[in-house]
């Protein structure tokens, strides 16, 4: 039987998050000093140096220096068993840092950083926002102006080959990303972090550029994966090449088996150095992690029913609504749940390549967008299970709604002519509405036709739109053939509607590896892709939305380049209070929606999961990470019962 815990409405989630932000923002000087003392942060009065076991920009840490474990974990969770998940598509590399090749999350799970993260780079701890705690380091020091940071590393830290993790490895990893990593990342980091100094084997100092925002600098250097300098030098491997061999990591897991066309398996490192750290208590609970490869989603679902893998995070509404009634669900061998998700949904949608000549005209983009009918799609293909996304920070305190007021309005007014009048006076842009009773909304189609006519693309006698030079309005929509049948159906319907406008549009299906390569080369007019959601500011916003890297950033598939967006990001990075930061983030969300480089689609406010009834999790799932690869565990008695019954192989 499907177990559904009490659900929060989006409004309740916003209120809860807002209350937390108000509490943070209301800290006065006395409150801040109390927080610093409680968190174990200390000041060396002579030099105004802050020494701490963790870091947050405003200096407030939820967990004190002597914390025993994160609040949401089960400190007594047993170790053992296996968790197996699916992957649909093709992989050809174990190196995700190269432009060529496609790698899986399991290719990075063995690496740790100075400031710890969840597997694959998620939030840890997962119950607080923008707080970072020492893992490879035991403490860090930085001045009040955050012009540099020193990390003091743990002498016991070891790579899986038994060699120590040193400051030399950290400096090497930092420089390797600059020399051989993605250009947009390297350019941004070089401009902000001009120097790294290895003081001794266990002490490393990073210097930050004068006159720039101090946002994201300490966490940037603190979350670089630690790679073995010796391994790279001995093997001659490069970060910018597609390859299957990987360097030893210092994390809880190490590679056991790689068959790139069938499976990847990780095993617990029996000599993992960090087992007893408070950061890791109640985490890394499985003896083995496995991913099974499938050519299509139908084969993957049948394999789950057969027990070839054991955990499934479901994203297909048709399957969730209609297919989780097979015998193992009815017998209780497989459990289905809807679990709380406190993170804003990823801004997924149909993204316009703004370098595409016809799509430079906003009227063409507006017309194409009217081909998407959320209401009919959700009711007819998705069983009414989704909500329509409008914001880049959906259902959070920084989601723009009504016309700007207060601090946000003052901020926007200060930017003068950069801000269009409608951004100052009108509510934030919302997606268009459509007729839920028919796929082809005639009202929207007529509006789209007028927009295309006004843009100079007129319909000829053959029903095809051409401009004054006789050029056909032709668009290429790049799409992964590994997508689910439901998603494929949605996009086919969208393309059919756009085609009915007289546009020559092609839905080009390519395999996963080709999709990744074409995406990186920005070889498309439209693409089904996503940006990253945001709650607060950070210099990563420049890579995602900024002009400087727009021509080549892998994180900006639209190639968005807007002076207004640039200035709002800069203002957010200069914010000195949480209230100022929230106002800037709300203005940024408003401006991004006004720029209109994406057709927003849908989102699910919960996690849908199905798994064999041997896994257990904390009663309260933290808001920022579902954590099934992180802090869930196996009940061995239940696992034995499943095997005895034949439910599991």
Cβ-contact 40, 34 below 8 angstroms: no
Which alpha helices (DSSP H) does 370-479 contain, by range? 374-380, 406-413, 421-425, 442-454
Taking 3-state DSSP, the helix, strand and coil percentages for the chain, each rounded to the nearest 5, stand at 35, 20, 50
Tell me: do 357 and 487 sit in the same domain: yes
Helix (H, G, I), strand (E, B) or coil at 292: strand
Last residue of a domain, one of 218, 235, 252: 235
Distance CA 378, CA 380 (A): 6
What tokens appear for 261 in the block?
A: 């066309």
User: Does residue 622 have a pLDDT over 80?
Assistant: yes
pLDDT in tens, 182-240: 887 888 889 999 999 999 999 999 999 999 889 999 999 999 999 999 999 999 999 88
Domain count, the chain: 2
What average pLDDT is seen over the chain? 91
The pTM assigned to this predicted structure is: 0.85
Looking at the domain assignment, is residue 50 inside a domain? yes
SS (H, E, C) 346-373: CCEEEEECCCCCHHHCHHHHHHHHCCCC
Kindly tell me the burial class for residue 202, based on how many C-beta atoms sit within 10 Å of its own C-beta (0-12, 13-18, 19 or more): buried
pLDDT (0 to 100) of residue 22: 29
Looking at the domain assignment, is residue 303 inside a domain? no
Which alpha helices (DSSP H) does 193-279 contain, by range? 217-222, 229-235
Last residue of a domain, one of 235, 267, 286: 235
Tell me: do 411 and 550 sit in the same domain: yes
Looking at the domain assignment, is residue 246 inside a domain? no
Distance CA 65, CA 41 (A): 8
Tell me: do 364 and 216 sit in the same domain: no
Looking at the domain assignment, is residue 267 inside a domain? no
Looking at the domain assignment, is residue 639 inside a domain? no
Distance CA 315, CA 87 (A): 13
Distance CA 199, CA 203 (A): 5
User: Does residue 24 have a pLDDT over 50?
Assistant: no
Across residues 583-588, what is the average pLDDT? 98
User: Does residue 21 have a pLDDT over 50?
Assistant: no
CATH of the domain at 133: 3.40.190.10
User: Does residue 525 have a pLDDT over 80?
Assistant: yes
Distance CA 341, CA 19 (A): 18
Tell me: do 231 and 362 sit in the same domain: no
Distance CA 245, CA 95 (A): 8
Tell me: do 378 and 517 sit in the same domain: yes
pLDDT (0 to 100) of residue 18: 34
Looking at the domain assignment, is residue 244 inside a domain? no
Where in the sequence is the domain holding 521, given as residue range(s)? Answer: 348-458+473-603
pLDDT (0 to 100) of residue 122: 81
Residue whose pair of structure tokens reads 């192989």 in the numeric block: 649
Looking at the domain assignment, is residue 589 inside a domain? yes
User: Does residue 149 have a pLDDT over 90?
Assistant: yes
Looking at the domain assignment, is residue 416 inside a domain? yes
Across residues 619-633, what is the average pLDDT? 95
Instruction: Give the β-pairing of 82-88 and 458-459.
Output: unpaired
User: Does residue 595 have a pLDDT over 50?
Assistant: yes
CATH of the domain at 361: 3.10.105.10
Tell me: do 17 and 147 sit in the same domain: yes
pLDDT in tens, 437-464: 999 999 999 999 999 999 999 999 999 9
What tokens appear for 363 in the block?
A: 């009227």
Tell me: do 60 and 181 sit in the same domain: yes
């Amino acid at each position: 039987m499907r177990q559904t815990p009490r659900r929060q409405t989006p409004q309740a989630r916003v209120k809860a998050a807002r209350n937390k932000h108000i509490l943070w923002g209301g800290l006065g000087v006395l409150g801040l000093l109390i927080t610093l003392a409680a968190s174990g942060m200390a000041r060396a009065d002579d030099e105004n140096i802050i020494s701490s076991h963790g870091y947050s920009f405003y200096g407030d840490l939820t967990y004190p220096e002597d914390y025993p474990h994160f609040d949401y974990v089960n400190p007594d969770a047993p170790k053992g068993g296996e968790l197996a998940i699916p992957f649909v598509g093709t992989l050809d590399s174990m190196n995700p840092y190269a432009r060529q090749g496609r790698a899986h999350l399991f290719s990075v799970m063995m690496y740790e950083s100075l400031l710890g993260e969840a597997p694959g780079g998620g939030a840890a701890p997962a119950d607080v926002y923008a707080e970072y705690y020492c893992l490879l380091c035991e403490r860090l020091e930085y001045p009040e102006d955050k012009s540099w940071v020193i990390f003091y590393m743990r002498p016991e830290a070891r790579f899986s080959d038994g060699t120590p993790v040193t400051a030399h490895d950290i400096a090497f990893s930092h420089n390797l990303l600059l020399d051989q990593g993605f250009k947009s990342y390297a350019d941004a980091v070089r401009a902000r972090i001009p120097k790294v100094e290895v003081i001794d084997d266990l002490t490393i100092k990073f210097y930050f550029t004068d006159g720039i925002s101090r946002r994201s600098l300490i966490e940037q250097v603190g979350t670089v994966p630690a790679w073995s300098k010796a391994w790279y030098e001995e093997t001659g491997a490069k970060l910018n090449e597609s390859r299957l061999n990987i360097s030893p990591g210092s994390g809880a897991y190490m590679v056991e088996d790689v068959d790139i066309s069938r499976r990847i398996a990780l095993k617990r490192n029996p000599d993992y150095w960090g087992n007893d750290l408070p950061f890791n208590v109640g985490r890394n609970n499985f003896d083995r992690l496995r991913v099974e490869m499938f050519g299509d989603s139908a084969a993957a679902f049948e394999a789950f029913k057969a027990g070839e893998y054991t955990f499934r995070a479901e994203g297909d509404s048709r399957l969730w609504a209609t297919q989780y009634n097979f015998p193992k669900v009815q017998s209780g061998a497989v459990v289905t749940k809807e679990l709380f998700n406190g993170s804003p949904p990823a801004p997924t949608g149909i993204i316009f390549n703004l370098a595409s000549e016809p799509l430079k005209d906003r009227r063409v983009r507006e017309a194409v967008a009217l081909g998407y009918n959320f209401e009919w799609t959700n009711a007819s293909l998705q069983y009414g299970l989704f909500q329509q996304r409008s914001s880049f920070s959906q259902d959070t305190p920084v989601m723009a709604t009504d016309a700007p007021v207060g601090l946000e309005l003052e901020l926007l007014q200060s930017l003068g002519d950069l801000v269009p009048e409608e951004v100052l006076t009108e509510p934030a842009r919302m997606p268009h509405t459509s007729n839920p009773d028919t796929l082809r909304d005639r009202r929207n189609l007529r509006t789209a036709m007028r927009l295309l006519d006004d843009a100079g693309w007129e319909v000829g006698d053959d029903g095809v739109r051409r401009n004054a030079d006789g050029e056909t309005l032709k668009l290429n929509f790049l799409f992964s053939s590994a997508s689910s049948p439901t998603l494929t159906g949605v996009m086919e319907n969208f393309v059919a509607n756009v085609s009915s406008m007289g546009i020559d549009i092609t839905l080009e299906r390519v395999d996963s590896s080709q999709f990744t390569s074409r995406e990186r080369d920005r070889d498309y007019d439209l693409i089904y892709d996503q940006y990253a959601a945001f709650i607060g500011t950070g210099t990563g916003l420049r890579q995602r939305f900024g002009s400087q890297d727009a021509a080549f950033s892998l994180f900006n598939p639209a190639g968005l380049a807007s002076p207004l967006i640039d200035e709002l990001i800069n203002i957010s990075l200069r914010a000195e209070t949480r209230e100022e930061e929230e106002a800037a983030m709300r203005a940024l969300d408003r401006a991004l929606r006004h720029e209109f480089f994406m057709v927003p689609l849908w989102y699910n406010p919960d996690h849908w999961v199905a798994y064999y009834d041997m896994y257990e999790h904390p009663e309260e799932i933290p808001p920022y990470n579902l954590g099934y690869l992180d802090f869930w565990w196996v009940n061995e008695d239940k696992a034995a019962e499943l095997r005895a019954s034949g439910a599991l192989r």
